[in-house]
């Protein structure tokens, strides 16, 4: 049986290629590529479906609320589960749930019985599966590649999300125009099945559960929360991530309606504009994955946050499709720096015994922010305009990020792996 501290891949002059030499990392990465493409297709379909059924910006925000509602409730518990149970089985169960959700919506579409509340309930269960999967997937990546290559692995994961952001909306826009919502859902359900079948082949290194009795679940939760509060690097990452998730990243749910209601384009161009941030994200993540010995993770994290917020403000002011497309590409490049360094810094700054719980704390804070942000943006969008709401939030985010970056050590220190000992 393989050791946790061994078999982290052969050496290579290109960091990303060294990571991809690991057979099980390739399987995990490939499964996630298929799932992200399906997820991004599904998001565009559901946004347009809710828009068609209700015609309300607020209900679009409510869609994001139901998707993220499980996070504040279960993220900490999912981190404990990732630290204690078989991460591979957790991921397989989550992907089976994704496939079940897609199949349910497909049956409703075939029966022409879809109502808005159906969508809200179904995406709640989809969000529940994602909450349970996230800590297991990210800590499994650390198990497979080790601390020296985790930044490259996180960059490749960002590329995974990015490929989905590009291919998913483009495919969904074209398929909706040709086959409607039902035909599009047949295709994305097939992607979910392929992702699940690939994940079944995954093998993870054996983890030593350690000696002595395990602390009870609430004590375990407390350890993760306390460490997140006393470690200033982790705390800084969490605070800036809250701002970004509530006020900047929520543009992703509203890009389709910006394209249709503000730029006045059809389904194909809606899909193209929705994929534009993903194109930039792919460029940024590729650059990071090819760069060896990244030292100042915090500076890249803060720079990515500020640049993306400024680009979101710019797209809210843009009156032209081509300009909006270019701005969102640049926003995607910045997003790669933010998202890659967010995960990297959290994993490097966490002791091995509570790494899953730290990811769970991050998922909790992100989920809470992602519930508040869409409702606030949707409410302002209904009252004034959706572009005003998005621009206002982006401007306020820039004002908040600067002092948070200054008072935390991330601009001054480099992140490095902590000893694999108890944090107590």
The mean pLDDT value of the chain amounts to 79
Rounded to 5 degrees, what angle do the CA atoms 34, 342, 270 make? 45
pLDDT band with cut points at 50, 70 and 90 for residue 411: low
Count of all residues that appear for the chain in the document: 424
If you average pLDDT over residues 219-246, what whole number do you get? 82
In DSSP notation, 332-351 reads HHHHHHHHHHHHHHHHHTS-
Per-residue pLDDT at 420 = 44
Spatial CB neighbours of 158, under 8 Å, sequence gap ≥ 6: 281, 284, 285, 288, 336, 339, 340
Per-residue pLDDT at 10 = 45
Distance (Å, whole) CA 379 – CA 393: 12
- The 8-class DSSP code of residue 5 comes to T
**Which one is predicted more confidently, 323 or 81?**
323
Rounded to 5 degrees, what angle do the CA atoms 174, 180, 181 make? 105
Distance (Å, whole) CA 262 – CA 252: 15
Range with the poorest average pLDDT among 64-78, 136-150, 213-227: 213-227
Per residue in 349-375, pLDDT (tens digit) is 777 777 777 777 777 787 777 777 777
Domain spanning 15-206+217-411: CATH superfamily: MFS general substrate transporter like domains (1.20.1250.20)
Distance (Å, whole) CA 276 – CA 281: 9
Q: At what angle do helices 150-199 and 116-145 cross, to 10 degrees?
A: 120
Is this model's pTM higher than 0.75 or not? no
Per-residue pLDDT at 421 = 43
Q: Is 367 exposed, middle or buried (0-12, 13-18, 19+ CB in 10 A)?
A: buried
Hey, what long-range contacts does 107-114 have (CB within 8 A, 24 or more apart)?
109/181, 109/182, 109/185, 110/182, 114/49, 114/53
Residue 388 CB: number of other CB atoms within 10 A?
15
- Let me know: does 263 contact 388? Beta carbons within 8 Å: no
pLDDT band with cut points at 50, 70 and 90 for residue 419: very low
Per residue in 111-168, pLDDT (tens digit) is 888 888 888 888 888 888 888 888 888 788 878 877 777 777 777 777 777 777 777 7
- Let me know: does 84 contact 224? Beta carbons within 8 Å: no
């Amino acid at each position: 049986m393989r050791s946790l501290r061994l078999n982290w891949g052969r050496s290579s002059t290109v960091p990303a290629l060294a990571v991809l030499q690991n057979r099980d990392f390739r399987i995990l990465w490939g499964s996630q590529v298929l799932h992200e493409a399906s997820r991004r297709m599904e998001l565009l379909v559901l946004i347009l479906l809710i828009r068609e059924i209700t015609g309300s910006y607020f209900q679009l925000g409510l869609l994001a609320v139901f998707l993220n509602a499980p996070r504040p409730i279960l993220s900490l518990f999912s981190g404990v589960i990732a630290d204690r149970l078989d991460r591979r089985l957790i991921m397989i169960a989550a992907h089976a749930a994704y496939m079940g959700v897609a199949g349910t919506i497909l049956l409703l579409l075939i029966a022409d019985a879809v109502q808005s509340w159906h969508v809200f309930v179904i995406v709640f269960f989809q969000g529940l599966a994602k909450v349970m999967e996230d800590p297991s997937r990210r800590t499994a990546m650390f198990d497979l590649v080790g601390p020296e290559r985790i930044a490259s692995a996180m960059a490749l994961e960002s590329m995974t999300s990015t490929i989905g952001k590009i291919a998913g909306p483009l495919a969904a826009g074209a398929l909706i125009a040709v086959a409607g919502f039902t035909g599009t859902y047949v295709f994305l359900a097939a992607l979910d099945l392929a992702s699940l079948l690939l994940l079944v082949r995954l093998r993870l290194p054996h983890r030593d559960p350690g000696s002595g009795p395990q602390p009870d679940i609430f004590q375990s939760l407390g350890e993760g929360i306390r460490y997140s509060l006393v470690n200033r690097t982790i705390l800084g990452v969490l605070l800036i991530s809250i701002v970004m998730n509530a006020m900047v990243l929520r543009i992703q749910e509203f890009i389709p309606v910006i394209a249709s209601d503000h730029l006045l384009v059809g389904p194909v161009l809606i899909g193209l504009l929705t994929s534009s941030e993903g194109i930039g994200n792919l460029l940024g993540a590729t650059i990071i994955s090819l760069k060896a010995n990244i030292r100042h993770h915090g500076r890249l994290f803060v720079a990515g946050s500020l640049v993306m917020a400024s680009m979101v403000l710019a797209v809210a002011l843009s009156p032209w499709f081509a300009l909006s497309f270019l701005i969102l590409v640049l926003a995607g490049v910045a997003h790669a720096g933010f998202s890659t360094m967010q995960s990297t810094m959290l994993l490097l700054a966490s002791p091995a015994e509570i790494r899953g719980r730290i990811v769970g704390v991050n998922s909790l804070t992100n989920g809470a922010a992602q519930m508040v942000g869409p409702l606030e943006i949707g409410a302002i969008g209904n009252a004034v305009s959706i572009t005003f709401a998005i621009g206002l939030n982006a401007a306020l985010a820039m004002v908040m990020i600067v002092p948070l970056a200054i008072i935390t050590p991330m601009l001054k220190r480099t992140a490095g792996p902590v000893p694999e000992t108890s944090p107590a």
